[in-house]
């Protein structure tokens, strides 16, 4: 967690909003359907927008992702194409995404 956002992520408002998003998305990653773990800000938080409710807490800017899809959302230099991923055995396979 970035230092400027530490207080935000520890706040009651964030915990309440996070729980709502997990329930709204049925506990599943909205990209691949696996169990979701991270409530992701589509428009990333910055020191400039962290106090803007529509960005920081707005449900239209939040989605539940698994760790792999969250890493893809933040990746700038991917080791593979976005349509590919490594399976449990290290083989390169097509990524299954929900439409």
pLDDT bucket at 79, cuts 50 / 70 / 90: low
- Answer for the pair 70, 38: CB distance below 8 angstroms, yes or no: yes
Integer Cα distance of 98 and 80 in angstroms: 19
Please classify residue 73 by burial: count the beta carbons closer than 10 Å to its beta carbon, then call 0-12 exposed, 13-18 middle and 19+ buried: middle
pTM of the entire structure? 0.74
Question: Residue 99 pLDDT > 50, yes or no?
Answer: no
pLDDT in tens, 34-72: 999 999 999 999 999 999 999 999 999 999 999 999 988
- Answer for the pair 29, 36: CB distance below 8 angstroms, yes or no: yes
The partner residues of 88 in beta bridges, in order of sequence, read: none
Integer Cα distance of 25 and 22 in angstroms: 5
Question: Residue 78 pLDDT > 80, yes or no?
Answer: no
């Amino acid at each position: 967690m970035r230092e400027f956002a530490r207080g935000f992520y520890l706040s009651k408002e964030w915990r309440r909003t996070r729980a709502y998003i997990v329930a709204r998305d049925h506990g599943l990653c909205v990209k691949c359907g696996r169990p979701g773990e991270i409530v992701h800000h589509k428009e990333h938080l910055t020191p400039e927008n962290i106090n803007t409710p529509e960005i920081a807490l707005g449900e239209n800017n939040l989605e539940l992702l698994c760790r792999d899809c969250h890493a893809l959302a933040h990746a700038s230099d991917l080791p593979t194409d976005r349509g590919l991923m490594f399976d449990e055995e290290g083989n390169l396979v097509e990524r299954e995404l929900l439409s």
